[in-house]
Amino acid sequence: MPYTINKTDGTTVTTITDGTLDNTTSLTLFGKSYSGWGELLQENLIKLLENSASTSAPTAPLAGEIWYDKSTNQIKVYDGTSFKPTGGSKAQATAPSSPSAGDLWLDTDDNQVYVYTGTAWQLVGPVYSAGQTLSGWKIETINNNSGISKVIASMYVGNIRVAVLSKEAITPQTAISGFASIAAGLTLNSTLGASFSGNSTQASAIDVSSTTNTSATVIAGGNFLRSDAADTTTGALTIDSDTGIIIGDGQELTITASSGNITIAQTAQDKDLSVTINDGGVTKTPIAITGSTGNITLTGDITITGNLNVSGEYNSSTSNISTYDDAFIKLNSGNSEVDSGMIVETSDTDDARLFYDVSANQWVAGENASYSQIIRSADATTDGDANPEKILKTTAGGNVKVTSATLGAVGSNIATSDTSNASVPTIGQVAESIKRWGGSYISDDSSNSVAGNRYIETTVPTSGQGADGDLWFVREA
């Protein structure tokens, strides 16, 4: 009687006639009363035990049949069409061939695990190879200085912790090299001199609490000059631009350069520019420039080394008289010899002048282009007779000598009692004095009347006139 062989799902695989063999499947099936069936049965069991281990796939496999592929050292299962790897992991130096999606592979060279996506091997981890050592993020738990566990994320490169990411500030209970304290956020290893490089939206937020530089190239924030507050620098401030310095909320003061020339400018219209000093605690303004007029006011003593050239006028605001402490004022210094002196402005064309006439070698004065010599004592003479038209002066004895002298008036009568008058008499005074010799005088009345003790008549006196001691002059009519 033949055997009908069914699958697990009830479908018929084959029918075996008594005493015959069947090779419809990978196993050898035999009919009833087949001679030598015991050996074949044992071989079938071995095949099942070793999953048909071979470099070649079993012939006539059934769906779900397992085969160990010795060429790849993989367990494969028949899906009704072909044998597919079962998804087990492989540990080898090279990527497995004929992988299926989901297969795992441990790269024994780098100690890294890969998964097959169906198209390529994708690294699962770790992200670093065995030769690179620990590199990348690692989640760790540490205790703070109070013994409380805290979770941190550490960034390693070459097995060295470069940075720590924490949600809160932590002081590790056990010292961590480069991380005496961990700030909330990202903290870099202090022993590496690590720094952030690249763009940051808050790169301008510089901590100015310290002025201690960590190196010649890593400068503390407190050493940067601030633009939002008053600040101080201990080094020279160089502005390598001709546009220079601009000061004031209205940019009133500028210091600029052009072709090597420097300009200090007060740019606000009609505003002043002053230079002040602290003199013993008192603020003084030695230089003041008035913006509305352009006038300059200098306060204090001024010492000038070199020439002082003034193209305008000199005015004294406190007095009409200018005084100088120097013994001499020198004019025309360094120029060729020309007339030089002082000019007083008048309504005349050439004003009034006092100057030294170089051509005549003498001082002259005058106005309206008419000038006369200023006489010195050496220019005068005591002898006007021998030196006519010379200015006279007295001798040491007080005498003056002239050829003749004419007075412009007769003068008053000479009083007989005036014995100390030093005035020079005129001819008229002399004639009158003769009339008045010694006493009072009356006009000649032709009567020889007595008028005093001195008599001057055209006739001789008559008897009874005069007295003893009287003088009588008879003059021609």
Which one of 104, 125, 146 terminates a domain?
125
140 and 118 in one domain?
A: no
User: What percent of the chain is modeled with pLDDT above 90?
Assistant: 34
Residue whose tokens read 């566990």: 149
Which one of 223, 246, 273 terminates a domain?
223
142 and 115 in one domain?
A: no
Amino acid at 434: I
Residue 334 lies in a domain: no
* Residue 298 C-beta-side C-alpha neighbours within 13 Å: 6
SS (H, E, C) 358-410: CCCCEEEEEECCEEEECCCHHHCECECCCCCCCCECCCCCCCCECCCCCCCCC
Mean pLDDT of all residues belonging to the chain: 85
Cβ 447 vs Cβ 455: under 8 Å? no
Residue 243 lies in a domain: no
In total, how many domains does the chain have? 4
Q: What's the pLDDT at 454?
A: 57
214 and 164 in one domain?
A: yes
Residue 439 lies in a domain: yes
Q: What's the pLDDT at 180?
A: 94
Query: What is the tens place of the pLDDT at every residue in 23-55?
Result: 888 888 888 888 888 888 898 888 888 888 899
181 and 110 in one domain?
A: no
Q: What's the pLDDT at 452?
A: 45
Least confident window among 94-108, 203-217, 326-340, 365-379: 203-217
Residue 308 lies in a domain: no
DSSP letter string over 176-189?
-TT-SSB-SEEEE-
pLDDT class of 267 with cuts at 50, 70, 90 = very high
100 and 160 in one domain?
A: no
27 and 102 in one domain?
A: no
User: What percent of the chain is modeled with pLDDT above 70?
Assistant: 89
Residue 15 lies in a domain: yes
219 and 141 in one domain?
A: yes
Range of the domain at 181: 136-223
Which one of 179, 204, 223 terminates a domain?
223
pLDDT at 182 over 70: yes
172 and 100 in one domain?
A: no
Strand pairing report for 454-457 and 471-474: parallel
155 and 111 in one domain?
A: no
Residue 445 lies in a domain: yes
Distances (CA, A) of 470 to 250, 381, 450, 456: 111, 47, 11, 11
Query: What is the tens place of the pLDDT at every residue in 426-451?
Result: 887 777 766 655 444 444 444 444 44
CA 407 to chain centre: 86
Q: What is the DSSP letter of 221?
A: G
For residues 230 and 322, give the distance between their C-alpha atoms in angstroms, rounded to a whole number: 48
Query: What is the tens place of the pLDDT at every residue in 210-265?
Result: 888 878 877 888 888 888 888 888 889 999 999 999 999 999 999 999 999 999 99
Query: What is the tens place of the pLDDT at every residue in 118-168?
Result: 899 999 988 888 889 999 999 999 999 999 999 999 999 999 999 999 999
Q: What's the pLDDT at 416?
A: 61
Residue 304 lies in a domain: no
215 and 183 in one domain?
A: yes
Residue 118 lies in a domain: yes
Tell me the two tokens of residue 271.
Answer: 């505003």
